[in-house]
Structure 1
Amino acid sequence: MTIQANALDAHRRLAAVIEDLTDEQVAQPSVLPGWTRGHVLAHLANVTVALAGQAEQEGTKVEPYTGGRPARDAAIEAAAGRTAGEHRAAIADAVARLTKAWDDVRDWDTPVFYRDGTLVGTAYGVWREVEIHTRDLDLGPVTWSPEFCDHAVDFLSARVPDGVRLTLRAPDRTWTVGEGEDVTLTGSRTDLVAWLAGREPDGPITGDRPELKPWP
């Protein structure tokens, strides 16, 4: 599949995960410190709209969030208390807007404000946001595809500390990033990538985990 198809497929799976979500579950904590599931869902709707906007404004560099990070954070707080049905509707509306915006893209290599990259980078961004935050909802086991894990390791390789040659070894995948002292971690591909993304793995990881750099 294309990156765009992967991102939209991730949204379809998110919709299935939250299909029967209750208002009580929305108000419960996610795995992210200080965020309820409502905060995660609000962020997913908002970031989808924000990255749709990068495509809608093709050819003009505009901030994804008008007002920058403070406006982003305020919007999440304002929407976190929605009912489950309202969250589902907001995400569905955001996906419809994203799909329309992507259908109208003329050149995916067009520069954008988001990460000082191109429109194709926004598709990768949607893919990452939805895959990772679906897991953050803590609504059941999540297994990431080999293709997503390959991308996530590439994107998150900047977190590997200086002077470390990190090998992540899963039964069906092995990644090596960085240069320096050899460190090998072994586990499932989803657990290894979750750890690299700053999340607590569901299953065991063997090896001494180094302290990671900030999110890139």
Structure 2
Amino acid sequence: MTPPPHQNPADPATRNQAPRDPASDNPAAEAPDADAAAVRDATARLLTAVETLDDAALRAPSRLPGWTRGHVLAHLARNADALLNVLSGRPMYVSGQARDADIERDAPRTPAVHAADLRAAAARLDAAFAAEDAQSWGRTVELRNGVTDLAAAVPFRRRIEIELHHVDLGLDYAVDDLPADFVARETATMARRFHAHPDVPEAVELRAEDGRTWRTGAPAGEPVVVTGTPAALTGWLTGRTTGSGLSASGPLPVLPPL
């Protein structure tokens, strides 16, 4: 299960982003309480899958290069704590080295310990979401590498982590299983991510088979039109597929590492 070349074992909601105005990358800040509920649902689905694993399955490779399934689960637990830090005004991680060391430390644990840790970390973050109100959701928070966003976007960022890393486990949850509302919002998020990106020199028009369109890549020029199901578009944009299920009016653009 070799992942596409632009997929790396890092936080899909925060990696390799330049500092920016939070309002420019905020598709998820409209209904943070609803997003928090969706996070709970996604976490429950993930935990159901984790409870089916044994030690050997946890030690098996995930779809992320160099990471076992245990690494993925360790990252998800620590990411919940990291986003709690963000909402509390603390650095997301003490350092990149500390983040990586925590994941390496926790990866070999048993399935029961992974499940208990993930459940507890998710509950802590959910309690923090519940403590926010309309005014506090509107403040600006800082994530990794100088990235800023509105606090209201944090629940959807957590949902990105859970949904995409659930796919990365390589179990019975694939890109086509991602919820439709998540797929639509994540496609819009990734289109914004790659808009005017120096490593995407082509203009690109994304066309979902249901009629929705997004523009990304170079701001000007005749676009390469990439067409497919919403899930196929999301899978390609997030590095979870190589573009299977898509058609294009020219060579499929090569996307930069996430």
> Scaled by the length of structure 1, what TM-score is found?
0.88
Q: Secondary structure at the match of 1:50?
A: helix
CA contact (8 A) 2:137 2:150 kept: yes
Structure 1 unpaired stretches of 5+: none
Alpha-carbon separation, structure 1, partners of 2:67 and 2:222: 36
| In the alignment, structure 1 residue 153 sits paired with structure 2 residue 187 | yes
Larger proportion of helix: 1
Alpha-carbon separation, structure 1, partners of 2:60 and 2:211: 34
Tell me how far 1:204 sits from its aligned partner: 2.7
Cα distance, 1:16–1:46 mapped onto 2, change above 3 Å: same
> Scaled by the length of structure 2, what TM-score is found?
0.75
Superimposed CA distance per residue, residues 13-49 of structure 1 (whole angstroms, 9 cap, x where no aligned partner) = 1112222111111000111111110110000111011
Which residue of 1 is the match for residue 104 of structure 2?
Answer: 77
The farther-off stretch of 133-142 and 205-214 is 205-214
Cα distance, 1:141–1:173 mapped onto 2, change above 3 Å: farther
Cα distance, 1:49–1:65 mapped onto 2, change above 3 Å: same
**Runs of 4+, deviation exceeding 6 Å:** none
Tell me how far 1:96 sits from its aligned partner: 1.1
Q: Secondary structure at the match of 2:212?
A: strand
Cα distance, 1:164–1:202 mapped onto 2, change above 3 Å: closer
CA RMSD of superposed structures (Å): 1.9
Alpha-carbon separation, structure 2, partners of 1:64 and 1:168: 35
Cα distance, 1:152–1:22 mapped onto 2, change above 3 Å: same
Structure 2 unpaired stretches of 5+: 1-32
Tell me how far 1:173 sits from its aligned partner: 5.2
Alpha-carbon separation, structure 2, partners of 1:84 and 1:41: 10
* Matched positions, count: 209
CA contact (8 A) 2:59 2:108 kept: yes
- Of structures 1 and 2, the one with the larger relative CO (CA 8 A, separation 6+) is 2
Alpha-carbon separation, structure 2, partners of 1:117 and 1:202: 29
